[in-house]
Amino acid sequence: GDSVTQMEGPVTLSEEAFLTINCTYTATGYPSLFWYVQYPGEGLQLLLKATKADDKGSNKGFEATYRKETTSFHLEKGSVQVSDSAVYFCALSAGYSTLTFGKGTMLLVSP
């Protein structure tokens, strides 16, 4: 079945550091790929998405590129802020009915 593997956290960074959160997937067909973010005490929000190979999703300074050859969708940001502290979920959808989520990676950014 479909699956998503994320790097375990927490990831601890200082403000303005470079961020990478690794995500790889296993799926049949050509899934759409997503990053969702969950701030403390809130529900998940879509951060960015890519629907086909080589697409780059971007939002709020975050980027991720759909790499079919390596089945990856790594999240990057050039300079993190304290306000980026949250849990980040990589997800894929191979059909209408559901998203398959990774286990989540907690990011902690200190001033």
Partner 1 sequence: EAQVTQNPRYLITVTGKKLTVTCSQNMNHEYMSWYRQDPGLGLRQIYYSMNVEVTDKGDVPEGYKVSRKEKRNFPLILESPSPNQTSLYFCASTGRGGATNEKLFFGSGTQLSVL
Give how many residues touch partner 1 by CB under 8 A.
24
Name which of 11 and 17 has its Cβ closer to partner 1.
Answer: 11
Determine the interface stretch with partner 1 among 13-21, 61-69, 71-79, 91-99 (rule: CB under 8 A).
Answer: 91-99
Beta strands in 1-110 (DSSP E): 3-6, 11-14, 19-21, 23-26, 32-38, 44-50, 56-59, 62-65, 75-77, 86-95, 98-101, 105-110
CB of 46 to partner 1, least distance (A): 4
Question: Which pair of structure tokens corresponds to residue 103?
Answer: 């286990």
Residues of this chain that bind partner 1 (CB under 8 A) = 31-32, 34, 36, 41-46, 49, 51, 89, 93-99, 101-104
